[in-house]
Amino acid sequence: MPQLKEFAGFYAHTLKLEKGSPVFHTAPTREIEYPFRVGTSLVVRLWPWLGAIVVGRWTGREADEEQALMRAVQARTVVASQAHDADDELELNQMLGLM
């Protein structure tokens, strides 16, 4: 998990993106360590670099570690189902920071 900066229910961190990533997109955030928070974020790519700033808001919590890990695996499964081939799946997972 990247180093988060938190303030009043919001968070921010940096992220490395793959070449060709959109300039703006939304993404879910899920902690897989206590306190297992869930959030919604906006990812802004810093053009022309591959870095991005992520700004989001915590929206809830998972009940426990098992639930948090299950949700993370489900998110990865959804990404895999949208891929056209193994290379596409790998690229999607890397863009979303799932690998």
pLDDT digits (tens, 9 = 90+) for 44-57: 998 777 789 999 99
- What is the spatial distance between Cα 99 and Cα 96, in angstroms, rounded to a whole number? 8
pTM exceeds 0.85: no
Residue pair 44/21 in contact by the 8 Å Cβ criterion: no
Q: pLDDT tens across 60-82, in order?
A: 988 888 888 887 777 666 555 66
Instruction: Please report the pLDDT score of residue 59 as a whole number.
Output: 92
Average the pLDDT over 18-32 and give the result: 83
